[in-house]
Amino acid sequence: MYLSGSRLLLWAYVGGVIGFYMTLWFRSSPGEPRPLSGGGRDQQARTKGRKAVSIVVPARNEERNIRRNVTSLLEQDFEGEYEVIVVDDASTDATPRILDEIASSHPHAERLYVLRLRDLPPGWAGKPHALHAGAQEAQGDWLLFTDADTWHAPNALRTAYETATKQGIDMLSLGTTQELPGFWDKVLMPMAYLGISMQYPIRQVNNPRSPLALANGQFILLRRSVYELVGGYARPDLRATLLDDRDLARVVKENGFHLRLLDGRDLVHVHMYEGLGEAWRGWRKNVFLGSRGGVGFALLQLLGLPVMTIFPFLLPLLALLSWRRSPRRQASRQQSVKPVDLAAASVLSLAPLLTYRAWINRQLGVPWYYALTHPLAGAVFAGILAQSAWRVLTGRGVDWRGRRYYRETGE
């Protein structure tokens, strides 16, 4: 059967959409055992006369989250000795006051140490500097880096520690439950998950033969000896990074240590951003720098996002408009796309897209009907990526928490 150029282009596009979402599902599905949830207490986790784990929490203007975070960390059921080091990075909101209240009233306040920072040295980004400062104060054999917007189940530290020590893992990072209460949370997080899992498949991250490395900065448990051997965040190439978790994982894996990224959704929860404006600024600071392939791949993403997220939803509209065209114009068989072609293309394009989105929505606890916001999410992330790339490449820098960063060379 003869296909005109327009029909051939249509079916090539449909094949591309099907292949894209099938590939995404294959790369996104981790093939890992069930999520870590912890069992009975392992007596081997007990330590005497020393601290087993030092938890380091960088905090800058975290008045919304810091009480819940620190309280959950102080109330871990871990059998060994541990400490919680909160690095107050020159906060200008109520964060210092809240930390003082916890230190004076919590039953386990003896585990808490608040380190106050004033200035950010030249050549450093804020979070790597705070993590480095906290690690210098740590007394534990293991370091747990975690964000101030996280909440930890009582068995989180124990379960992660037992998993790492039993399996000989040098750097264990956990995926977390994303708390998504608002409209924009539910719209944007599935698209963010799509982009990250497309570029950093968990199978490859956990494969020691693959150079691909990734960690989730919301929970990184790392042997202190390994951190010191690789140079930690004091390394010149890590001091100013805006991708502190990914780049630390890269260094650890490059040096031959055992890296694992596992499902910890039963153990750690996080609420990253409040509203569209905060989410835009939060993703803008690293979405371009975190893209593999540099400028060329970023341009490809800017083209591919609308093609793969918006255009499939336009096909049903085009089919409807085509059906309403005059019979004489529909009669052309070889030089135009038929309404039946557009209808079939709509079904074949949207089926894998919506199936994949339904799977992501289940993973993130997002209602199924938010799959219909897929074009909106694609458009927003295209805008975020375009602005992120423009600000970095033109030297205008990206801003976060009252600081501005230029490229990857510091503030």
278 occurs within a structural domain = no
Asked if residue 117 and residue 191 are part of one domain, the reply reads: no
Residue 206 resides in a domain = no
The total number of structural domains that make up the chain: 2
Whole-model pTM: value is 0.91
- Residue 405: inside a domain, yes or no? no
Question: Looking at the predicted structure, is the pLDDT value of residue 379 above 50?
Answer: yes
55 neighbors 146 (Cβ within 8 angstroms)? yes
Q: Which helix (H) or strand (E) holds 271?
A: none
Domain membership flag for residue 123: yes
d(CA 27, CA 16): 16
Q: Is residue 90 part of a domain?
A: yes
Instruction: Say yes or no to pLDDT of 328 above 80.
Output: no
The pLDDT-based confidence of 194 (bands split at 50, 70, 90) is: very high
Q: Which pLDDT value is given to residue 30?
A: 62
**Are 245 and 342 within one domain?**
no
Q: Using one digit for the tens of pLDDT, what is the confidence trace for 197-235?
A: 889 999 999 999 999 999 999 999 999 999 999 999 999
Nearest to 129 by CA among 411, 402, 396: 411
Residues 264 and 125 occupy one common structural domain:
yes
| Domain around 128 | 40-176+216-272
Q: Is residue 138 part of a domain?
A: yes
Residue 277 lies in a domain: no
Do 300 and 363 belong to one domain?
yes
* 341 and 383 housed in the same domain: yes
**Do 124 and 233 reside in the same domain of the chain?**
yes
Between 6-10, 31-35, 345-349, 403-407, the lowest mean confidence (pLDDT) is in: 31-35
Q: Which residues pair with 261 in a beta bridge?
A: 173
Same domain, 49 and 20: no
Q: Are residues 168 and 188 both part of a single domain?
A: no
**194 and 309, same domain (yes or no):** yes
In this structure, the strands spanning 142-145 and 268-270 are unpaired
Q: Which of 76-90, 261-275, 278-292, 378-392 has the lowest mean pLDDT?
A: 278-292
User: Are both 90 and 239 inside the same structural domain?
Assistant: yes
Do 6 and 49 reside in the same domain of the chain? no
Let me know whether 7 and 110 are in one domain: no
